[in-house]
Structure 1
Amino acid sequence: MFVRTASERDLPAIRALLVETWHATYDAIYGAERVTAITDDWHSIASLKARLSRPNSEFLVADDGKRLGGMAFAAATTDPKIVLLNQLYVHPSCQRQGIGKALLDEVEASFPEASSLRLEVEEANAGAIAFYRAHGFLPRGKTADCGGGSGLPALILEKSLG
């Protein structure tokens, strides 16, 4: 798979990847009904489309020419030295193949002025936490409102860049 910038034509495939990945990851934590409600909101075509034109951001997909294996979205915060990794998801059938690392590497390369990369992750998502810890992220605290507006608690992890 190669990593490239997402385009509007990718949005249906990105949404499908996110819905399937979220159900595989979070049904056991939140229940399928809640996951469906979250994905219908956060991962709607309109919500994804808005990210394509967001300033100071990078929206990436991992593509093999036939399907998308992963996606990532990151944006600079009000402090341009801090980039927030809003999303990094790899389809369950494509995990443990280096796709997540490739997406993460491209996110880091996309913000050369940044000094740190920050993210929020569900505390029960042990696989994601292990992935991020293996790639240099360290705990920086907790939030009671993951992503702002969800009401879901999360760990805050951060990696120094440069």
Structure 2
Amino acid sequence: MTRTVRRATVDDCWEIHEVARESWHGAYDDVLGAERVDDVVSDWYAIGDLESAITGTNGRENAVFLVAESATADAATGTDLEPALEGFAHAVPWPEDASVAFLARLYVRPDRWREGVGTALLEHLETLLSRAFDRLRLAVLASNAVGISFYESRGFERLKTRDSDLGSGLEEHVYEKSLPAVDE
């Protein structure tokens, strides 16, 4: 299997939408309920919005939308099969601080968790963003143990806890890490 991380194109939108649906159900069904997860994914990952988010990052150093895909070979024929999208990441400038990038989205299909997909996306994203930003910030629901473990193991430190926009009683943690300095 060969994994590739590349910039997303509008042709990826449906697969990105499906990765989001699978990931959200895997992480949040027990917290939000399956019906609420479907509503959130339909709203936050509408195809038109994904197309705008992807095209909005084209040609920019301070915003990026990446996908990770893997390709395998057919065992019988040895021919390469169509690459399968495993995950995606999207980052934009933090509105209140020009030195901070905001990791708006990083999701991986649950059957690919702990296989290095998220790490590959994050490392590629950090390399691209380090030219324009000093730090990378994100928010993750306090109940998302998989997400919290992932981010903390990659050097993110919790800055604060705040109420989530997803409903009363839900909290999210805000994390941040320094980006590597760019040698010029």
The reply to whether TM is greater than 0.5 is: yes
* One of 84, 92, 95 as aligned partner of 1:75: 92
1:33: how far off? 1.0
Amino acid at match of 1:53: T
- Which residue in the other structure is 2:74 paired with? none
Is the Cα–Cα contact under 8 Å of residues 16 and 85 in structure 2 kept in the other structure? Answer: yes
Q: How does 1:1-162 map to 2 (within 5 A)?
A: 1-55=3-57, 56-65=62-71, 66-78=83-95, 79-111=97-129, 112-146=131-165, 150-151=166-167, 152-162=170-180
Name structure 2 gaps, 5 residues minimum.
72-82
Name structure 1 gaps, 5 residues minimum.
none
Percent of aligned pairs with the same amino acid: 36
Aligned residues: 159
Deviates more, 1:58-67 or 1:48-57: 48-57
TM-score in terms of structure 2 length: 0.82
TM-score in terms of structure 1 length: 0.92
RMSD (Å) for aligned C-alpha atoms: 1.4
Deviates more, 1:47-56 or 1:84-93: 47-56
Deviation track 1:6-55 (CA, whole Å, cap 9, x = no partner) reads: 00100011101111111111111100111111001001101211111225
Distance 1:30 1:3 in 2: 31
Deviation track 1:84-107 (CA, whole Å, cap 9, x = no partner) reads: 000111101111111111100111
1:128: how far off? 0.8
Distance 1:145 1:24 in 2: 19
Larger radius of gyration: 2
* Runs of 4+ off more than 6 Å: none
